[in-house]
């Protein structure tokens, strides 16, 4: 790390190679407390991709063969291969690649790795079901008032000119987003995982809510959380989509109710499950493990902190509506008053997170979403109750 002082390395981490101050190129060994060898590689995003969250952390577990978790973006294979070389490995040594969930910075690199290594591709059983659908397709098939209002706002953003992106003009999905969606739709899962599946010492837990197919992977006292639990930042909860009709009829019955896997309520339940896994666990996240020249280690208590954060966000949103912020954009800007939201990308991202909170409040009878006369917009109305405080509060460990 040129120009910086190397930080103290936390107990349980051995640095094989230092990288950039955000973790790009960093290669580490992780003590599994008597378990199998575990390694981490900070896989740099390809040119043109957002670097707001630094690299995607790929983890290598040597247990009944070699398992690699989350290879990173499409176009990052060279960075991953370089990290494997530091570990004395080659792509051909990988027996299976597992993704924590179906986002481009996690599963985008699967096809390149599988082609180079012959490894099997493992993912939660919902991954394959959702692989033909882009985010935009899901948005267009949902006709709820909140989603309709979000679509209208998106149209207004586009009419006002091209969206501006943070990070020096980089598009968050990366320059190859269209290529990614094409590659992803053609991939086939070799082993579809369900909650509680095991391989050797590794256990796979279904923890939806950030995305419907998200896995938390446990190895003894280590939990590989993907985007489910992150240090420094709070992951973006999904909105409560309805399944497209053709998808719904193909799903196992346990997933027919879309709110079991989509939305803030599903996410909070999954966070609560992490809280119940026990004490003294070490979180190995997909982002921000190392940032601003320091390791950002955390444990299972971070899940409880994230639940409490969303309870506070609901409080802020209810107070904002009570103060007169009754349309979606106004409520969003009140909820994100600490951020300028001056460009289309960040505004629409904030709106989707606001919707996830409105949906939870509506679900608990604390807010009504009323169509404005003429079908042009939606108004938020309080009912006078705050049931959400008890519902969310019960999920926070004593």
Per-residue pLDDT of the chain (398 residues; tens, 9 = 90+): 443 456 689 999 999 999 999 999 999 999 999 999 999 999 999 998 888 899 999 999 999 999 999 999 999 999 999 999 999 999 999 999 999 999 999 999 999 999 999 999 999 999 999 998 877 777 777 778 888 888 888 888 877 755 443 443 344 444 466 789 889 989 999 999 999 999 999 999 999 999 999 999 999 999 999 999 999 999 999 999 888 888 888 898 889 889 999 999 999 999 999 999 999 999 999 999 999 999 999 999 999 999 999 999 999 999 999 999 999 999 999 999 998 898 888 899 999 999 999 999 999 999 999 988 766 678 999 999 999 999 999 999 97
Distance from C-alpha of 184 to C-alpha of 168, rounded to nearest angstrom: 27
Same domain, 93 and 186: yes
Residue from 154, 265, 283 nearest 229 by CA: 283
Q: How much is the pLDDT for 297?
A: 97
Domain boundary among 246, 277, 299: 299
Record the tokens describing residue 285, joined without a space. 């996240």
Do 319 and 341 belong to one domain?
yes
Q: What DSSP designation does 260 have? A: G
- Identify the domain containing residue 357 by its residue range: 142-172+308-393
Shared domain for 152 and 233, answered yes or no, is no
CB-CB contact of 224 with 214 (8 Å): no
Number of domains in the chain: 2
Which of 264, 299, 334 terminates a domain? The answer is 299
Residue 223 DSSP SS3: strand
73 to 109, 130, 167, 320, 374: CA distances (angstroms): 5, 18, 17, 38, 44
Query: What is the reported pLDDT for 316?
Result: 98
384 domain-assigned = yes
């Amino acid at each position: 790390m040129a120009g910086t002082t190397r930080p103290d390395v936390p107990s349980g981490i051995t640095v094989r190679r230092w990288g950039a101050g955000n973790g790009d190129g960093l290669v580490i060994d992780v003590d599994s407390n008597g378990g199998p060898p575990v390694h981490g590689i900070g896989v740099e995003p390809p040119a043109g991709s957002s670097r707001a969250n630094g690299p995607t952390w790929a983890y290598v577990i040597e247990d009944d063969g070699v398992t690699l978790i989350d290879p990173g973006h499409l176009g990052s294979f060279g960075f991953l291969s370089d990290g494997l070389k530091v570990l004395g490995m080659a792509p051909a040594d990988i027996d299976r690649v597992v993704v924590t969930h179906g986002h481009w910075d996690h599963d985008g690199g699967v096809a390149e790795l599988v082609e180079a290594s012959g490894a099997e591709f493992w993912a939660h059983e919902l991954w394959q079901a959702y692989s033909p659908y882009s985010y935009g397709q899901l948005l267009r098939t949902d006709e709820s008032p909140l989603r309709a209002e979000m679509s209208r706002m998106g149209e207004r953003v586009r009419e006002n000119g091209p969206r501006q992106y943070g990070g020096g003009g980089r598009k968050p999905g990366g320059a190859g987003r269209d290529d990614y969606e094409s590659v992803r739709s053609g991939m086939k899962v070799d082993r579809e995982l369900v909650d509680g599946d095991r391989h050797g010492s590794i256990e796979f837990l279904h923890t939806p809510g950030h995305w419907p197919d998200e896995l938390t992977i446990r190895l003894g006292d280590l939990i590989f959380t993907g985007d489910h639990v992150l240090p420094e930042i709070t992951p973006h909860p999904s909105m409560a989509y309805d399944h497209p009709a053709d998808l719904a009829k193909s799903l196992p019955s346990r997933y027919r109710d879309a709110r079991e896997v989509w939305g803030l309520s599903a996410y909070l339940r999954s966070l609560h499950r992490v809280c119940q896994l026990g004490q003294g666990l070490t979180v190995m996240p997909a982002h921000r493990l190392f940032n601003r020249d320091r390791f950002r280690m955390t444990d299972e208590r971070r899940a409880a902190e994230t639940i409490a954060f969303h309870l506070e966000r609901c409080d802020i949103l209810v107070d904002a509506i009570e103060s007169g912020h009754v349309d979606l954009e106004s409520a969003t800007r009140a909820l994100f008053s600490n951020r300028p939201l001056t460009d289309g990308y960040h505004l629409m991202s904030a709106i989707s997170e606001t919707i996830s909170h409105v949906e939870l409040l509506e679900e608990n009878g604390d807010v009504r979403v009323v169509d404005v006369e003429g079908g042009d917009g939606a108004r938020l109305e309080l009912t006078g109750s705050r049931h959400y405080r008890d519902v969310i509060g019960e999920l926070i460990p004593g």
